[in-house]
Structure 1
Amino acid sequence: MLTILLYIFIGILAIQVFYYLIVFGKFAFAQPQKITSKRIPVSVIVCAKNEAENVARFIPILAEQNYPDYEIVLIDDASSDDTLEIFEDFEKKYPNIRLVKVQNNEAFWGNKKFALTLGIKAARKEYLLFTDADCYPTSKDWIMQMTSQFTLHKTIILGYGAYEKIKGSFLNKIIRFETLLTAVQYFSWAKMGKPYMGVGRNLAYKREEFFKVNGFMDHMKVRSGDDDLFINQAANSKNTTICYSPESFTVSTPKKTYKSWFQQKRRHVSTASYYKGFDKFQLGLFFFSQLSFFILAIVLLAFQFQWMIVAGLVVFRYIITWITLGYASGKLQEKDVMYWFPVIELILIFTQLNVYFTNSFSKPVHWK
């Protein structure tokens, strides 16, 4: 029996090596990205609901971008705080800001996708760049960097949305490592011609891509997924590329408690259940291989069965993962989280398991 488990363990290890070296290596070991400014007209779209504090801080940063031809479309999704009033003040102050006011609609109440659709239709530029109300770009060249990857055929650009670093917070390191790993996954699969998701914190596409798939209509009833479900439906090997230059990053305010982050994870996982079959399979296989690797390693080592071989394979696996994610973390400026990699990885695996079980019994809450 233990011999069979050892062979299964080796098979699981082979799957892990395939993911880390073959798939994730596509991004991790890629050359630095070449940036060629296109200076095409762009509409930056920000949708906010009860984000008064954040928009007061971050919209002025967007308004100071070093780019010759862009507008900012601010969408107020029926906020009950001062978000609308702040937007109206910005509209008076900056000539390139346009305001879209969304009233509560009984059919689409509380649905961010409805609000975004109105903003996309109101945009005057053909190229759209999205970020969230709690985000800010890391440089004044953010628009230039993201739009530099547009070509005649590449009309969807996947960017990186980082989280602020909070000194002394271990939860912050967990959140940022999980964000790093997620980005490595969707960047790598995009480079392999199988794009499956993007993040609304940093995403760009030509407006025609939105209308080709009838916008969000096929998943309008799913409260989340204005970014990943849209990309899962619209993106393919021909029209999608990535942007990972440091000046193209955005930064968001991370969750401050484990409970709020866990709820966020529940929403993300519930949305992923609507992905295409292959995408659900590859994500599920990766998680299964992670969980199985640790369980089998613990069982085999506990029985001291061929323990030197098992220990050697565990060390080999960690060397492969550390090298791959180390290179990727350097590209995404997240190197500090790698010091805690073995511990954080285990926490994430069992958090993911908890999310699956919790979602099986209750539905997560979406959008404000």
Structure 2
Amino acid sequence: MEVGVFFFILIGFAAINIAYYIFLSKVGFSQIDEPLGDSHKAVSVIICSKNEQENLKILIPKLLKQNHSNFELILINDASHDDTRYVIEEFMTQDKRIKMVHVVNNENFWGNKKYALTLGIKKAVNDSLIFIDADCVPNSNEWLAIMTRHLTIEKSIVLGYGGYQNVKKSLLNALIRFETGFTAIQYFSYAMRGNPYMGVGRNLAYTATQFYKVGGFISHMKVLGGDDDLFVNQVATYENTAVSLNEASFTYSMPKTSWPAWWNQKKRHVNTANHYKKSHKLLLGFFYLTQIGFLISSVLALVFDNNWMILSVIIILRYLVFWIVVGKGLARFRESDIIIIIPFLEILLVGTQFALFIENILHPPKQWK
């Protein structure tokens, strides 16, 4: 039986994809081990807010109800144009655990979230710092206690999951939740296998000692974004990094509801990835190229090769492994409803990521929000 070159190319890409998905199986198939640290050690919860008056009215009461006996809230008003400052001040009169940092734009750091966060970290009185975005909410009243418990003598960084709320009958929402879940499956698995490379500011913890040890954000202060993933990429190691897979420790926020708004958000995220360590860029970039290679070679092989039976088996096997591994990971992150359509979402995501990469080269983003 004669076979063409596309047949062997497809086998190569499929084999690499399958091996990579097996590597990512840590998230979906691992048992959740609860840390042994102190769940009520003193912590500072830091929230950077820019024009978030309505979201803070939802978030702050939920934080104040956390099952934790020793924490403070550092609320950063990052040069807001709305009533964010006055909302914070009103809550301050109701609870002494709340402190505010009022940021006035600095000409050297105009619109830079890292500058605002640095001022917030300096305001904190505790060494243990836990971060959540203003538009997020904890999944339970145990969020703070669980994230705190992971911070031990050995572990100075904790990666948490920050997901998005489910909006029914929305393709954009399904894509956002797939991209968020799949990205989490990757960075959690890398961390669990000893090579952490990123985290998200929607749910992240680290110590002030760790922050000051590397000079804070100074090495990438001029890079738009990256207060979370670039910092983790810089300082995280197998020895100092923990992950929290407990559902009660997740956070969720409302996703963008329009394609242009989501597009602009992702442009900032893609821009920061260019500043990862070379080893991480190579690993992630190589896998992305093999995804594209598999999709293209599948089409070419089916068109130009007559071995449809064998080709179909290869393609089905690759997607079966993808479905099982990614599906198990998404189920752990409470995204089970989109599992049935993830092959379609993968194709859509690969296409949009390529378009984002091109647009970022032509029109790089200017400010974090």
| TM-score, structure 1 as length reference | 0.97
Distance 1:301 1:210, change over 3 A: same
Structure 1 letter corresponding to 2:29: F
Structure 2 letter corresponding to 1:27: V
Q: Secondary structure at the match of 1:72?
A: strand
Match in the other structure for 2:291:
290
Match in the other structure for 1:208:
209
Measured in 1, the distance between the counterparts of 2:306 and 2:148 equals: 55
The answer on whether the counterparts of 2:37 and 2:152 sit within 8 Å (CA) in structure 1 is: no
Distance 1:177 1:337, change over 3 A: same
Map Cα deviations across residues 242-301 of structure 1 (whole Å, 9 max, x no partner).
001010000111000111111111111111000000110111011111111010000110
Match in the other structure for 1:59:
60
Match in the other structure for 2:25:
25
Superposed, 1:209-224 pairs within 5 Å as 209-224=210-225
Structure 1 unaligned residues grouped into runs of 5+: none
The answer on whether the counterparts of 1:37 and 1:145 sit within 8 Å (CA) in structure 2 is: no
The answer on whether the counterparts of 1:24 and 1:184 sit within 8 Å (CA) in structure 2 is: yes
Q: Secondary structure at the match of 2:152?
A: coil
- Do structure 1's residue 327 and structure 2's residue 328 form an aligned pair? yes
Measured in 2, the distance between the counterparts of 1:65 and 1:17 equals: 41
Structure 2 unaligned residues grouped into runs of 5+: none
Match in the other structure for 1:341:
342
Structure 2 letter corresponding to 1:31: Q
How many Å apart are 1:64 and its aligned residue? 1.1
How many Å apart are 1:55 and its aligned residue? 1.0
Structure 1 letter corresponding to 2:336: K
Measured in 1, the distance between the counterparts of 2:305 and 2:12 equals: 19
Map Cα deviations across residues 141-160 of structure 1 (whole Å, 9 max, x no partner).
10011112222111100000
Match in the other structure for 2:228:
227
Structure 1 letter corresponding to 2:327: G
Structure 1 letter corresponding to 2:27: F
Between 1:337-346 and 1:300-309, the stretch displaced more is: 300-309
Superposed, 1:88-127 pairs within 5 Å as 88-127=89-128
Between 1:137-146 and 1:25-34, the stretch displaced more is: 25-34
Map Cα deviations across residues 65-115 of structure 1 (whole Å, 9 max, x no partner).
110101100011111110000000111111111111111211112111011
Q: Secondary structure at the match of 1:350?
A: helix
Match in the other structure for 1:162:
163
Measured in 2, the distance between the counterparts of 1:130 and 1:151 equals: 17
Measured in 1, the distance between the counterparts of 2:27 and 2:111 equals: 37
Q: Secondary structure at the match of 2:358?
A: helix
Match in the other structure for 2:86:
85
Measured in 1, the distance between the counterparts of 2:73 and 2:182 equals: 30
Q: Secondary structure at the match of 1:132?
A: coil
Measured in 1, the distance between the counterparts of 2:186 and 2:236 equals: 15
How many Å apart are 1:4 and its aligned residue? 2.5
Match in the other structure for 2:48:
47
How many Å apart are 1:32 and its aligned residue? 2.3
Match in the other structure for 1:239:
240
Identity of aligned residues (%): 46
Measured in 2, the distance between the counterparts of 1:321 and 1:194 equals: 22
Measured in 2, the distance between the counterparts of 1:351 and 1:305 equals: 31
Measured in 2, the distance between the counterparts of 1:174 and 1:138 equals: 21
The answer on whether the counterparts of 1:2 and 1:300 sit within 8 Å (CA) in structure 2 is: no
| TM-score, structure 2 as length reference | 0.97
Structure 1 letter corresponding to 2:363: S
How many Å apart are 1:36 and its aligned residue? 4.2
Match in the other structure for 2:255:
254
Measured in 2, the distance between the counterparts of 1:311 and 1:264 equals: 37
Q: Give the root-mean-square deviation of aligned CA atoms.
A: 1.3
